[in-house]
Structure 1
Amino acid sequence: MFFHFRHQFPQLNAYWDKYREFQQQLEVPAKTILLEEGKISQRYIYIEKGCVRTYFNKNGEEKTIQFFFEEEGLSSLDSFVNNVPSQFTIETVEPAVLYLMDKKHVLQLIEELSHEPDFIHMMLKMSVKRQTHYANEFVSFIRDTPEERYQHLLQDRPHIIQRIPQHYIASYLGVSTVHLSRIKSKLAKGKTRF
């Protein structure tokens, strides 16, 4: 669960090695469903290679929530912690190499990590980073136009533009693929004012 913070907390390397036997390594193609909306999350996912997205279904239309890349981890946290149905689906966007760890081993790992002197600091850092990201996304979705949100992607997270299919980006921005094409065309011509 915390292995994407290994570089900042070298003491996690020993836990990575210890818990490797409890992690199922998967090599899967694009469009592999890792968790279905409405199911209860029982595994934590760490991405070694590839890209994963989360989305929900609204009246038969997929609405992309977020993208995750190498050295990031995820689960449907509310579902994972509270044993409630997931509000979204988790699916690979690209062929991926993943590590999955069952909930009982994650809880065991947390228990062991709780004895580490920097555990609280690590948890706070991880929580703040995720909360800040989601708060910024939420504010941007309310405050900014789709054009501005696309411009933010170009400036702050160009890897999304480079690696993610256009229809997923459009869904993430809350626009149609036609509208996204217009946005890109305007930006290419330099007509959009921000």
Structure 2
Amino acid sequence: MIFHFRDKFPQLNVFWDKYLPFQTRLEVPAKTILLEEGKISQNYIFIEKGCVRTFFNNNGEEKTVHFFFENEGLTSFNSFVNSIPSQFAVETIEPSVIYLLPKQYATQMIEELMEERNFMQMMLQIFAQRQTYYTNELISFIRDTPEQRYLNLLKDRPHIVQRVPQHYIASYLGVTKVHLSRIKSKIARGKSHF
């Protein structure tokens, strides 16, 4: 949704604070499922501390889709909006502190936000930014080798490599753990090429 853009749009903070009493603050261990694949998303999730991943099951094999960290928020958007089963699960990777805002209050808050000046412009900017990000991810997955994608992670999002277990990174890159180890060894030897 919109709240992991609070740093770029400080006017959101008033609404976040107003709806804080309707949120449930949870301290959860690693490997806590926050949303099961196939269930309807009922909450917007905001991460105060920790790391979360989204993934789906493909014939018994988990495929990691995305990682989220502090001050980011997520939901299974299509499920949340249209009350349909989620295509992916949401799980903590680290011990995490999260806030859950139920759908009824998220909807109410959006209705209030719509009265704000420049709200539509802000929403368009947010959606354009997210769309660009996901488009770039898709293009990279099609165009780049797993090695190039790993190098991109090291360059653009090193915190993922530093904090996320290797088997999740391998799943995210679409390779086995063994293949990822080979990629890392090749890079360490300085023989990587584009």
TM-score scaled by length of structure 1: 0.98
Distance 1:126 1:46 in 2: 16
SS in 1 for 2:19: helix
Where do 5+ consecutive residues of structure 1 fail to align? none
State the one-letter code of the partner of 1:168: Y
Matched residues, number = 194
SS in 1 for 2:191: coil
Distance 1:84 1:169 in 2: 28
Identity of aligned residues (%): 69
Counterparts of 1:1-194 in structure 2 under 5 Å? 1-194=1-194
Q: Displacement of 1:3 after TM fit?
A: 2.3
Distance 2:84 2:130 in 1: 21
SS in 2 for 1:47: strand
Greater Cα shift, 115-124 or 46-55 = 115-124
Q: Displacement of 1:21 after TM fit?
A: 0.4
Distance 1:128 1:141 in 2: 20
Where do 5+ consecutive residues of structure 2 fail to align? none
Distance 1:184 1:18 in 2: 47
TM-score scaled by length of structure 2: 0.98
Q: Displacement of 1:2 after TM fit?
A: 2.4
SS in 2 for 1:53: strand
Q: Displacement of 1:126 after TM fit?
A: 1.3
SS in 2 for 1:30: coil
Distance 1:77 1:118 in 2: 23
Distance 2:2 2:65 in 1: 22
Q: Displacement of 1:72 after TM fit?
A: 0.8
SS in 2 for 1:148: helix
CA RMSD of aligned residues (A): 0.8
Distance 2:21 2:60 in 1: 39
Runs of 4+ in 1 over 6 A off after TM superposition: none
Q: Displacement of 1:11 after TM fit?
A: 1.9
